[in-house]
Amino acid sequence: MRSAANYTTMRQVRTIRYRDIADHLRDRIEGGEVAAGRLLPSEAELSRSYDVSRVTIRKSLELLRAEGLIDSRQGFGWFVAGETVHQPLARLATIEDQLTASGVHSERRITDFAFVRAPARARQVLGVDKVLRVSRVNLADGEPFARVTVFCPEDLGAALSRAQVAESSFYDLLPVQLGGAVQTIEAAAASASDAELLEIPVGSPVLRCERVTADAVGTPVLLGEYVFPGHRTAFTVDLPHVESSIAPSGLRLVE
């Protein structure tokens, strides 16, 4: 029969073990080995790595969550907590503007620059058969933050180079005066290609934003698709007047 002393000793060992694991993970996070917003290994992987049960791992993770170092989301698992980037919807702005305003260093990694036959959606929106397609990954403090694909009519993008779009926004490069934009944001699941680029699990929640930008007379000149990891991004809008409905502004039923 197991003695009370043995039980107490075993319980202390288990308690110390989960705290030791939490201490080790904390050191990795605070030492910058795992950056803000990045995913931790799964509970199963951590269990194998530390040779303990998932119950012990969960206790370690919950301890770090209570300290505000990590958090979890359904579909993502555990990740290092960081400031959520809030992008206002009420004005025309770039991702880089929002990151810079938050004190985050941003950069672009161009993955595609080509003049191509317009996909169906680009042809529908822009009314042209050939477009300049630019795809990129936006980085925040060196970590993937967004996958972006932008289309513009061939004639407007003819003079642009890969180097130019890597350094500047289309808003600064297009030879037309821009007017307004319409943004549509919806929840989606990460495709295999987006998951690889953003370094998140396939099928995990993402926010997909389509932005149609028009010139000063209302003719669409840019079609952009932006995909953001759902756990790091929030879109906000200031409402100048209180509406009678409690439903979110701009909400509509998608058939």
CATH 3.40.1410.10-classified regions of the chain: 85-236
Residue of 51, 165, 69 lying closest to 114 (CA atoms): 165
Indicate the fold that domain 85-236 takes in CATH.
Answer: Chorismate lyase (3.40.1410)
Cβ distance 21 to 40 under 8 Å? no
At 247 the pLDDT is: 57
pLDDT tens figures, 132-174: 999 999 888 788 889 999 999 999 999 999 999 998 889 889 9
Q: What angle do CA 106, 152, 172 make, to 5 degrees?
A: 45
Q: What is the separation of C-alpha 212 from the centre of its chain, rounded to a whole number of angstroms?
A: 20
Mean pLDDT of 82-99: 61
Answering whether pTM is above 0.75, one says: no
Model confidence over 70-89: pLDDT tens digits? 888 776 688 787 666 656 55
DSSP labels, 120-151: HHHHHHH--SEEEEEEEEEEETTEEEEEEEEE
Query: Residues spanned by CATH 1.10.10.10 within the chain?
Result: 4-80
Q: Is 98 exposed, middle or buried (0-12, 13-18, 19+ CB in 10 A)?
A: middle
**Per-residue pLDDT at 236:** 72
Strand-pair category, 205-215 with 85-88: unpaired
In the block, tokens 């930008």 appear at: 213
CATH 1.10.10.10 fits 4-80, yes or no: yes
Looking at per-residue confidence, does 217 or 33 come out higher? 217
Is the pLDDT reported for residue 6 higher than 60? no
